[in-house]
Amino acid sequence: MGSSSDDEGEEYLFKIVIIGDSAVGKSNLLSRYARNEFNMHSKATIGVEFQTQTLEIDGKEVKAQIWDTAGQERFRAVTSAYYRGAFGALVVYDISRRSTFDSIPRWLDELKTHSDTTVARMLVGNKCDLENIRDVSVEEGKSLAESEGLFFMETSALDSTNVKKAFEIVIREIYNNVSRKVL
Ligand code: GDP
């Protein structure tokens, strides 16, 4: 791939998964990040989809292959294959729907069960544009993240708030974990 003969041309490829209850905005977070697109009436197609994003860190090409459940979670059917090999995860709830926040511990358990390595994890409170119908406070999100050792960010796939930041913090953390191991 690419300029592999170049000494400086080291490349990394990491898998990242997005998990969380149905309709929290997983697909839209990915399409906002990867294609700068948002869809108010997106209907999930069943089956896993991923998008690849490339970032330059320390002069190295870092590729993130970001997977979306594409609706599998509606049937509680996120398979171990989905999690396999993931180095990072965005664990998403909807700040306007408390039940999706209450599900987070279950998603974290599932992630732990299926992962075979250290996973850089970000708790994401999506739909922060819906301040007027907020159902989960920023403090609650922060405090859950702290107690579980996760990064935390509120995002809006609708107006783009923090979307790039959330993905890129995870990608950089994976890169740091991996390069620490190599050195
Ligand atoms: P998924 O099932 O978790 O992949 O969720 P989707 O990405 O399909 O989004 C579910 C619904 O929430 C759709 O109607 C989206 O338009 C809407 N949605 C997603 N992200 C946001 C957001 O940040 N703000 C608002 N207001 N709506 C959002």
Question: Residue 104 and residue 6: Cα distance in Å, rounded?
Answer: 43
Contact (CB, 8 A) for 84 and 101: no
Share the mean pLDDT of the chain. 88
pLDDT (tens digit, 9 = 90+) per residue, 142-183? 999 999 999 999 999 999 999 999 999 999 999 998 877 655
Predicted pLDDT at 4: 44
Question: Residue 67 and residue 48: Cα distance in Å, rounded?
Answer: 7
Contact (CB, 8 A) for 91 and 141: no
Query: What's the ipTM?
Result: 0.99
Nearest-CA residue for atom 24 of ligand 1: 127
Question: Residue 53 and residue 45: Cα distance in Å, rounded?
Answer: 21
- Residue 90 Cβ contacting ligand 1 at under 6 Å: no
Predicted pLDDT at 45: 54
Contact (CB, 8 A) for 12 and 19: no
Q: Which atom of ligand 1 has the smallest separation from the CA of 44? A: 8
Predicted pLDDT at 92: 98
- Residue 44 Cβ contacting ligand 1 at under 6 Å: yes
Query: Rounded to two decimals, what is the model's pTM?
Result: 0.91
Structure-token pair, residue 125: 């409170």
pLDDT (tens digit, 9 = 90+) per residue, 60-108? 999 999 999 877 776 666 778 889 999 999 999 999 999 999 999 999 9
Structure-token pair, residue 29: 């977070």
Q: Cα of 70 to ligand 1 centre, how many Å?
A: 12
